[in-house]
Amino acid sequence: MKKEIQKERFQSEPHQPASIGQARAPVGVEVSNVFKKYGPQTVLTDISLKVEPGEIFTIMGPSGSGKSVLLRQIAGLEQPTSGTIRINGHDPHDPDTRDRFAIALVFQAGALFNSLSVYDNLALYPLEHRIGTHAQIRDRVMRALKILSLENAVNKSPAELSGGMKKRVAIARALVMEPQLLLYDEPTSELDPVMSATISEIIATLKEQYQVTSIVVSHDRELALTISSRVAILMRGELLSLTTPDGLQHTDNPEIADFMHPKIDLENPRYKTMGA
């Protein structure tokens, strides 16, 4: 089940998201000794990793392990309690970094405005920030929709879309920003296996066509093993492993192996009492 994705290249001037015309380069991300606390609770403990420009880097781990919290730090939505995060050497929380680099986040639930059409959802950011003329913005929006095979949904409201279409619209909205860094928070959650495979293929294809740096938070083992350059495993807020998909398949760490290939012990008394 393969979907052909249109091979069109976005172009814009580097370090100036509001301009159009020059190819922009992917960025690198470096996380150094990051701790994050909410009150007395430590959510991230001494996280250090480096994402190379243009790679697909996946962050995995059980629920509550700090994956989405780390993604928010990288996106500049929150500041670490201590430690540093740098995007091509710049602090993502600094407003100047937003002016210098194009960073887009695909939210887990899509975060679409239900009162707006698909077109207006995609056009909102460039219109508010005056990124080009109305004709140029429409061209950006329609190209993004075409890449995600969503042309027929342009005038629909989010309420009229399936879960998979909402995910694709959220990715299309991110593409309108012509990103150098694209962050995905659980892009295949709540999707059936066929649509999950489609979203995974879209992420891989966008990386190949546009050389955008992609960081993906996901529980999806198939996604991690098939499209990732490298995979980080977080557990209890700590970085337990940083390896390739092949290394993850052949890990000798029993905790990681159990996470990747969980087994249900039907003899466990916990399961025997569930139907009582």
Residue 273 confidence (pLDDT) above 70: no
pLDDT in the model for residue 85: 96
At residue 259, what is the residue type?
F
pLDDT tens, position by position, 20-67 = 334 578 899 999 999 999 999 999 999 999 999 999 999 999 888 999
Q: Which residues contact 73 (CB under 8 A, 6 or more apart)?
A: 31, 34, 36, 44, 79, 80, 85, 92
Residue 10 confidence (pLDDT) above 50: no
pLDDT in the model for residue 111: 80
Q: Which residues contact 126 (CB under 8 A, 6 or more apart)?
A: 132, 137, 140, 141, 176, 177
- Rg over alpha carbons for the chain, rounded to the nearest Å, is 20
pLDDT tens, position by position, 199-231 = 898 898 888 877 899 999 998 888 889 999 999
pLDDT in the model for residue 83: 96
Domains of the chain, start order: 29-244 (3.40.50.300)
Between 1-10, 103-112, 227-236, the lowest mean confidence (pLDDT) is in 1-10
Which residue bears the tokens 């492993």? 241
pLDDT in the model for residue 57: 97
Mean pLDDT of the chain: 83
pLDDT tens, position by position, 234-261 = 999 999 999 999 988 888 888 888 888 8
Q: Where are the alpha helices (DSSP H) in 46-94?
A: 67-75
Q: Give the integer Cα–Cα distance in Å for 274 and 159.
A: 37
